[in-house]
A = this chain, B = another copy of it.
Amino acid sequence: MGQVGWKGLCLSLFDYKTEKYVIAKNKKVGILYRVVQLSILAYLVGWVFVVKKGYQDSDTSIQSSVITKLKGVAFTNTSELGERLWDVADYVIPPQGENVFFVMTNLIVTPNQRQDTCPESTGIRDALCSKNRDCPAGEAVIAGNGVKTGRCLKVRSNTNGTCEILAWCPVEKKSKPRFPLLVNAENFTVYIKNSIRFPKFKFSKTNVLNTDDDFYLKTCHYSAQHRYCPIFHLGKLVSWAGNNFQDMASEGGVIGIQIEWDCDLDKPPSECNPHYSFSRLDNKFAEKSISSGYNFRFAKYYRDADAVEYRTLIKAYGIRFDVMVNGKAGKFNIIPTIINVGSGLALMGAGAFFCDVVLLYLMKKSNFYRGKKYEEVKGGHLCLWICAGLLEEVQQGAQRLLLWPLKKTIH
C-alpha cells in the first residue's frame, strides 16, 4: 500500500462498524424476543444479583478461634465413690477450653488396678476356656484386657472358666450405672467465645455482643430472645439438637454446635452476626452394635508407699461438644459482576439465536425472512464474473446514479 493506503487504513481504524440488522415486522417473534429479553433481565437482576449476590466476591476460608469455658458443680452419692462433688476440673476433658470439649455425665470407675494376673472378664468370647491349653501363654485376648498366662481359671471343676491374664487387675466390670451419675450436668453452662477473621477482606469479629452492659453478659443465656448472648445452657443445647439430655447422659453422644457467619460486608459490620444451629452428630439409631453413644477410657496413675504404680481406670460416658465454625463473606467486586453481566449478555445472544430459529424455520414466511437475513455472496464463480463483466458497462451509469450513496461496490 502506498502513503494514501496507510493513511486510509489508519483513518478507517476509527470508523465505527456496527452490525446491520434486518427489521422483521413480525409481531409474534418480536413479542417472543422481548419476553425472552425480559426473562433474562429478570433472572439477572432478581436471581443472580439480588438473591445470589452475584456482584460480590466471596471468601469462604474463614479463620476461627474458639475459647470455651464451663461453669457448674454436681454432687453425687454412690456406694462406690461415697459423697463426692464434681467441679470443672473433674468433669471437663480436656481442660484447656478448645473448640471440642467433653462433659462427663456417667462413668465406670475401676480403682486400684495394678499390673498383676487375674481372670479375664467373663463376657469376652476369646477368653472362655475349659482347660489350660485353651489359653496359650503370651497370646493377647482379642478385644480383651490383657495377655494370657497359660492358665484356665475355673470356679470348682466346672467345664466353663476364663483364662488368667496378665493385665491391669482387677479388670473393668462390664456394667454401667443405669442412671447417669452426673444428672445435674444439664444445668451447667458453657461460655463460647468465637473470634473469626476473613483473611481476603481483613475483617475480624467475635460472637460476643459488643455491649457495655457487663451484667447482661454475665447473666444472660442464649435463647431465641437473646441471639447474641454467648452463654449456653447444656440441657437446652441438647434439646435444641432434638434430644433429651437424660437419655444422652447415660450412653453419651456428640452434639455439634454450628456457628455460621454469613456476612455481607457491603453493609456495616454490626450486621455481620453469627447464626447458631445444633445437631446430634453421632447417629443414635443406625449402628447400635458397634458403638452407640460416646465414651472413652482414661486412667489416673498413682504410686503407693513402695513406689509401685497403680491406677484408677475410668470409662467416661458423656457428651462431646464440637464447635464448628464456617462462614462466608461477600463484598462487591468488579470481576464477578462483570462475569455475571457478561454471561447474562451472552445469554441475550442465545435468546436471539432461539428467536432466529423460530423466525427463519418455524414461521410461515420463513423463506422470505431467510432471504432477507442472509445476503448471498457468490464470490469466485466464473459464470458470475462473465455475466458481471458483460453487464458492467450497462450497470456503470445506472449504478452510479442510483447506488453510489449506498456504496455497495462489488469490487
Contact = CB atoms under 8 A, between A and B. Distances in A.
A154 B290 CA distance: 55
A245 interface: no
A410 B65 contact: no
Given A67-B294, A96-B320, A193-B282, A21 B25 contact: no
Contact of A88 (B74, B260, B297, B300): B297
Contacts of A146: 73, 75, 85, 87
A2 interface: no
Contact of A290 (B191, B258, B349): B191
Contacts of A145: 73, 87
B326 A63 contact: yes
Contacts of A72: 140
A184 interface: yes
Contacts of A187: 140
A7 interface: no
A102 B346 CA distance: 56
18 contacts: A16-B29, A18-B22, A19-B20, A19-B373, A22-B377, A25-B380, A25-B381, A64-B324, A65-B281, A65-B322, A73-B147, A90-B299, A197-B256, A199-B326, A302-B302, A338-B347, A369-B377, A378-B407
A364 B403 CA distance: 24
Nearest to A116: B85
A289 to B, nearest CB: 3
Contact of A214 (B12, B208, B290, B406): B290
A367 B5 CA distance: 14
Interface majority SS (helix, strand, loop, mixed), chain A: mixed
Interface residues of A, number: 168
Contact of A20 (B20, B88, B147, B305): B20
Interface in A28-61: 29-34, 43, 47-48, 52, 54, 60-61
A65 B23 contact: no
A97 B295 CA distance: 9
A20 B21 contact: yes
Nearest to A305: B305
Given A20-B19, A20-B20, A52-B335, A296 B14 contact: no
A204 B254 CA distance: 15
Nearest to A189: B143
Given A15-B25, A18-B352, A197-B279, A60 B63 contact: no
Interface stretch (A155-163, A266-274, A391-399): A391-399
B290 A208 contact: yes
Q: Which of A204, A289, A304 has the most CB of B within 10 A?
A: A289
A179 B165 CA distance: 25
A100 interface: yes
B401 A73 contact: no
A196 to B, nearest CB: 9
A362 interface: no
